[in-house]
Structure 1
C-alpha cells in the first residue's frame, strides 16, 4: 500500500513493523516527502514533517527515529511516551544516542525529556503518566523481596500490572505468591490488568486514591 501511494510507513504503522508496544488506532500512517505536493491519503493518515534522519530513497518504512517524531506529533502524550519507552526498553536506542538526536518538534522534545527505560511495556507507562497528573509519583522497578515491582507509591503501596498476554498458570501462581509475601511484609498490593488500565481507568484511579486516603502508601 505504501509503495503504491509513493509513501513510506511511519508513526504507529512503523512502530508495528519494529515490534514496539503501541495502541493501534486502526489507521495506516504514511510519511510523505515535503515536496510531494498534493497527496490524497484517503482514509489513511499522512505525515509531512521531517525527522532527524534522511528518509531512505527506496525503503518502505521510515527510520525508527523519524517514526518516533511522527508518533510524538500525532498521538496523545501518554500513548507516544509508551512507544518511546518501548523503544528504549528493547535497547533500540541508548539514552546517550536518544539525547543527541536533533529534534525540531516541540512534542518530540517533550516526550524525549519524559521518557525512561524502566517500563517493561506501555501498560506500565500509562498509569505512571496519569498518576503524575494528580501529583502522585510512582517509582518503577523497585527491588523488594528479590522481586521488581511494577510501581511503588510512597513506601508501601505496590501497583502490579498484568500485561495483555495471557498469564500461564505457573507464572500467575508465582505472581500471587509474591503478592502474599509483600502483604506479610506490610505492603498493600493492588494488582490491575491491561483491560482495567486502558478501559476502566476511573475505577483504578479511585481505588489507588482510596488506598492512599487510608495511608496505605506510608511506612508504618
Structure 2
C-alpha cells in the first residue's frame, strides 16, 4: 500500500485507497508501523511527502494554482504560501501558510483528488496571478506537454483573464524569464520573435533583423564549459552581423528597468537593422 500511495505522488485520501482495493485494517497497520501517516483522519501520506501536498491534506483540499504548477515542474514563482483548492463550505481549518481558492474551474474534479487537474490549475493561475506571471506558467505548461494549444483555445474558461491567455499563449518560451522579457517588451511596443534558428541553434528572441536576445536561466553558467560555449555562440552570431544582448535571471526578473533601457538604447542606435554597420560608417 505504501508503494501505491507513493505512486499517487505521496498522498491519497483513504476513500481512494479503499477504491484501490486496500482495507481499513491495512491502512491502520501502515500507520501503526510508520510507513504511512494519517492527516486530518482521512488522508494518508508517505513520511517524506512534498510539503505542498502535506499542507493541502492538512486542510482537506487540493494543491492548485502556482503550487501545483511548481509541483508539476512548470515555471515556479516561489510563492511563500501553499495554494489550495477548497469548497466554499469548508470550515474548521488553519489558514496559516495556505492561500485558499474556492472558484470552480472549467473541468470536474474528483472530490478527494490531491492535486487539481491541469486545466483547473491554469484557471486558478489566470485568476490569481499578474498577467506576466500567469503567462509564464501557461507557456511553461505548454512547453512541458501538459496541455495542447488547441485544447486551451476550445475550453470554456468562464474567466476573462483565462480567455485572454488562451488566445495569446503560443508555447514558444523555454523558461519563465523568457516569457517575462517578451511581455515587458510588448508593453513598450517592441515585437520579439521567439525561438528563431540562426547558425544551427535557436535564439531566445530576435528584435528586428539583427538584434539577438539570449536569456540565461537561474542556474546558467554554473560550469566554465557553459560559459565558453555561449561566448563561442555569441562570437559566431557577431560574425554573421548580429548584435547579441544577453541578460541573466536577476536582470530580467528584478532589474527590468536596466533590461528595458538596454534594449531601447540598442534600437535607438539601429542595432536591430541589417544595414546598421554600413549606416554607422557613413
Whether the 8 Å CA contact 1:22–1:82 is kept in 2: the answer is no
Alignment correspondent of 1:158:
212
| Aligned counterpart for 2:176 among listed residues 122, 129, 138 | 122
Alignment correspondent of 2:45:
none
Give the alignment of 1:127-206 within 5 angstroms: 127-167=181-221, 168-206=223-261
Any stretches of 5+ residues in structure 1 without a counterpart?
none
| Aligned counterpart for 2:114 among listed residues 60, 64, 70 | 60
Whether the 8 Å CA contact 2:105–2:123 is kept in 1: the answer is yes
Any stretches of 5+ residues in structure 2 without a counterpart?
1-54, 276-282
How far did residue 145 of structure 1 move?
1.3
| Aligned counterpart for 1:218 among listed residues 268, 273, 277 | 273
Q: CA RMSD in A?
A: 1.5
Shift in alpha-carbon separation, 1:39–1:73, aligned structure 2, 3 A: farther
2:156 partner SS: coil
| Superposition TM-score, scaled by structure 2 size | 0.75
| Superposition TM-score, scaled by structure 1 size | 0.95
Query: Relative to structure 2, which stretch is displaced further, 51-60 or 140-149?
Result: 51-60
CA offsets, 1:88-141, max 9 Å, x none? 001111212222222111111112212111111111100100000100001001
How far did residue 175 of structure 1 move?
1.4
Residue 181 (structure 2) pairs with residue 104 (structure 1): no
Query: Relative to structure 2, which stretch is displaced further, 125-134 or 97-106?
Result: 97-106
Whether the 8 Å CA contact 1:155–1:218 is kept in 2: the answer is yes
Alignment correspondent of 1:20:
74
Q: Greater RCO between the two (CA within 8 Å, min separation 6)? A: 1
2:225 partner SS: helix
How far did residue 40 of structure 1 move?
5.9
2:197 partner SS: strand
